[in-house]
Structures are given as C-alpha cells and as structure tokens.
Structure 1
Amino acid sequence: MRKIIIVLMVILNSCIKQSERNPVPQAIVEGYVSPGKGVSIKITQEITAGAIDTLIPLNDLKVKIDKNRVPYTLSYMGKGIYANPDMVISEGDTCRLYFGYNGVEVTGYTIVPTRPTGFTCSSQTVKYKAWGNSVSPELLEFTWDNREMEYHTVIIKNVETGNRQVLIANHTKKDHNIFTAPSLEHKASIPTYENFFWLGKHEVILYKILPEYAILFNEPDNSSQNLVSAPTNIKHGHGIFTGVSTSDTLQLTVSYF
C-alpha cells in the first residue's frame, strides 16, 4: 500500500511540474474605450519558445461588449483586432467585454470617465540653442480641473509628417512620447531640456484615466509586450480593458532660437 501511495505521489508531482512548464494559455486583452470613438480591442496570446515570449493574434473569437447592458458584436479585422466602428462611446457609459476562450469566459468591465476640463499649458513653444545647454522655458507646467481627485496624465506627441528633424541638442537618446506620471493632483510639469527628441509641431493632450490604467502606467515596463505579467482587470485572462477620456488638444512647437 505504501508503495502505491509513493507511486501516486510521484505521478501527481510529475503532472504538476508538467502543468507548470506548460500552463493553459490565457488571452491577453488590450482595449481602451473613449467618448466619441468607435471600439477596437486587441486580443492576443503569449507563446513561449525557449527564452523568447511572442504575442500571437487570436482570431475567430466571438467577442461582444454590453454597452449600458445593450450587446454589441465586434468583428474580426485581422492581426488580433476586433472592432465595431458603429458602436460609439459616450461619457458615463458602462462597458462589459466578454468572449469565450479555452473553455472559460474572459471578461472585463469599465466605466467611461467624463472629459477633462480646464486644461492649460504654460507655453506654446520650446526653444533650444542648436549647440549648448540653453532652452526656454526650462519647465512646462500644466493645470486642469480636478475637484473629484481623479487620475490624469499629460502626453506630448510629435505630429510632424514627412522628413522630421532630430533636435541636435536632444538628451533623450530615443524617440518617444513624453508623459507625466498619473496624478490625483490638478497640475503637473516636465523639464524641457532632457525630454524632447524632435523639432516641429507637437500635440499636448490631457488624459483622464481610471485606477487600473494608472497602476499599469506605473509598471517598470508598461508596453503591450509586458501585459501578460502586469496587474490586470481581466477575469480569466491578462491585460487591460478600461475607459479613457481626453481633453481638447493643445499645440506646442519645438524649434531653435
């Protein structure tokens, strides 16, 4: 009898180790719903090959979103994207995403926040000396209304088309959007000297985000590739499904003196 128990324990331990090596794949969701826009959700799955993790699109899923308890079907558009351009989102909408995968229902829930108001930027220009350490202003300051103490973040994007010019005096060493850390305050700022990469036109947008997105923002690596290990609000899956609202867009020009 003792030998039988030992054999069963060895088999069980082997099964557990095999399960740990080859866990049941879970869907990875990346979806943001915003007022005035249609819906587009990316759904992938992580495949581990040796030391390399790869995200592959999941197709042929039956994906739906209940908006204010009314169901809408999302169509597969390719490359893991499911969309319904006719499903327009409004402030305050409740959205429940759901689809079946590997025998379970994957779900996510969010409420679309109201649009930010009162957004201002302290300058419409940033000017550098072509050679040297001089820049004006040295700090960009942003303010907005936030009586309810909700999370906000400012994102600055270069929107030049064609042959963009790299800022000679740049100290970022890489092309990237500039953003402030999510904050419950009504203001934020960024130093200009060390942040800009491109000359030309930039858009400055204030995003009102929900706590789950703020947590993801604060992760060391918050890229799409890392959604499998980041905090999630997806049940029976990974990733994020969240409401986001944006302010009116402000314009900023980066140039030389």
Structure 2
Amino acid sequence: MRHAYLYSIGFLLLIAGACTPAADDILSANVQPVVQAYLVPGSPVSVSVTKQIPFADDTTGQGQPIDGLSLTITNNAKAYPLRSLGNGTYRGGAELAVKTGQTYQIDFDYSGHHISGSTVIPTRPVSFSSDQTEVYRTAITAGGGPGGFGGPGGQNQASSPVRLTWSNPTGDYYFVVVDNIETDPVSIVNQSNNPNRPVSNAARRFRSQPVQSDFTTIQPQSFQYFGRHRVVLFHLNPDYAALYKQNSTSTQNISTPPTTLTNGLGLFTGINTDTLYVTVKQQ
C-alpha cells in the first residue's frame, strides 16, 4: 500500500545554464502561489494550491485556497489537464499514471505569470526489512506509583529498539512514518484521571528525520498505543529533505524557500514507498 500524507520532494531540476529571467518576468515573492503535490506510483495525482501567508500576518494557518486555475502535468510529451475539486485542490484522471523513473512537469498561469516545476519519481525502496515484528511494552499508569512513570513496569522494561534496514548504495534520502492502524487502539499510558480522553491521531503517528544512510532505529517508547503499526519507508528526492531540515531549525513554514518551482513556492515532488508491519503487545 502506498501513502502520500505527506509531507511529504523532487530533483533540483532548475536546469543549470538556463537564462536568468528578467525582473518583470518574476512573480513577486509575497504573491507567489504555494504548491503541495506528492507524486506516488499507484496513487492518483493530487495538487493543492494556496496563497502565501504574508510574513506580517500573525498566523500559522494555511493560506487561502486558489481555485479556477488551469493546471496541467506533462509526462512523455503529453499534457494532462487536472480537474478542480474546489478548496484549492486539483486532481488528475486515471490516464495520468505515475511511474518510477519518469519525469513529470507541472504548469499553470497565475497573476499574469507562468508557474512551473518538475520532478523525477524515485525508485521503490529495496530490501526494506525489520529485525523484529513484535515489540513488548508494559502498560503505564500516569501519575506514578506501581506501573507508573519510573516505577515498576515503567519504560525501562520495554523491548530493544527496532532496527529498520534497506539498500542505499547511492546515499539517497529516506525517512520512516509509523502509524497505529487499530480501529480502537489501547493507549500504553493509562490516563486514569481522564479515562474518556479521545484518541489523538497525532499520537498514533510518528516519523523519523530524513537520512542518507541505510538504516534507522525506532525506540520502543515511541509507540504510544498497543496493536498493529504500519511502518512506511519513503524514498525521497533532495528538495523534500532540504525543506524538512529548514523547517526543523526555524519558525518558517512551507511557503518559504527552498523550492524547485519557478514563480512558485512549496513542493512538487516524487515519492516512492515500501511498507512493513510491527505489532506492539502488552508485556
């Protein structure tokens, strides 16, 4: 199964040696559209286009959606129009198939300027494996005491870290996203003072940082719920990794550089994935 939550890249395909556009051909940075598109083999193409949030605005929310655009994605010299679904979302038809190793280019006009960008779809991860498929954790009661944090049955009795490995002879970028996929997950930490607390989707998912190695480890304490977990390895292009690094070290958001789009911001990028599963059991 392939997933594009993400966050979720492309080669830096602003061709070296191309002529620098004249100043009046460049769309002012504060009105450039923000593109978010993650192309995954086997999944429909979906593109989000929003307005940039001005730096002067006191907000961390998403920019206003931009509807009514004529977006195309070109592959093998054939242009495929995308259908507007509203709320700044555009969707490609079944005829637009995303395939490993191929190049895709996005084009549209906005505010009198042409916005474009391209990406190559990376290969599916090779030899993705885990050294264990089951992790054991002891249920914890919040507030201390027996079974509480630091007490008997606490986090020190968890299993050893899960080691994930894959082939990466060329030093490409990879990262891992882990999701609890139980319909009604049981929390490892028993909130006895708030037993009706709803399950947090954020706590059900966690991710690693992009790495250029051929392994990563998951600490048992990263799992917040018992049950089955989907572990997805993403093969990334360099632009996603650059954006992730910048956002991890600053308060800037996705509507700021780095970007590989001409006259636009954000990401138009390819992703490829492989999936395995790990089950967390009560000790």
Identify whether the pair has TM-score above 0.5, normalized to the shorter chain. Answer: yes
Tell me the distance in 2 between the aligned counterparts of 1:196 and 1:167.
8
- The corresponding residue for 1:232 is 259
**TM-score normalized by structure 2?**
0.74
Map of 1:144 onto structure 2: 166
Distance 2:46 2:58 in 1: 31
More strand by share: 1
Which residues of 2 match residues 165-176 of structure 1 at below 5 A?
165-168=186-189, 175=203
Taking the aligned partners of 1:255 and 1:190, their CA distance within structure 2 comes to: 15
Higher RCO structure (Cα 8 Å, ≥6 apart)? 2
Does residue 104 of the first structure (1) align with residue 110 of the second (2)? no
RMSD in angstroms over aligned alpha carbons? 2.3
Deviations 1:43-82 (A, max 9, x none): 1113458422541111000000001221000000122110
Contact 1:46 1:53 in 2 (8 A): no
CA distance in 2, matches of 1:133, 1:47: 42
Aligned-residue offset at 1:196:
1.6
Equivalent-residue separation in structure 2 for 1:56 and 1:152 (angstroms): 31
Q: Which has the larger radius of gyration?
A: 1
Q: 2:40 aligned with 1:34, yes or no?
A: yes
- In structure 2, give the amino acid aligned to 1:129: T
* Alpha-carbon shift at residue 23 of structure 1 (Å): 6.8
Gaps of 5+ in 2: 1-27, 140-146, 148-153, 192-199
1:1-257 matches, cutoff 5 A: 24-48=30-54, 50-52=57-59, 54=61, 55-86=63-94, 87-130=96-139, 131=147, 132-161=154-183, 163-168=184-189, 175=203, 177-193=205-221, 195-221=222-248, 226-247=253-274, 249-257=275-283
AA aligned to 1:211 is P
Are the aligned partners of 2:30 and 2:52 in contact in 1 as well (CA < 8 Å)? no
The structural deviation recorded for 1:99 is: 0.6
- After TM superposition, give the deviation of residue 134 of structure 1 in Å: 3.5
Provide the rounded CA distance (Å) in 1 between the counterparts of 2:174 and 2:57.
Answer: 39
Paired AA for residue 213 in structure 2? E
Matched residue type, 2:48: K
Cα displacement (A) at 1:85? 3.3
CA distance in 1, matches of 2:124, 2:172: 11
TM-score, normalising length: structure 1:
0.81
Instruction: Give ranges in structure 1 of 5+ residues lacking alignment.
Output: 1-21
Rounded to whole Å, the distance in 2 between the matches of 1:229 and 1:136 is: 41
Question: Which letter maps to 1:229?
Answer: T
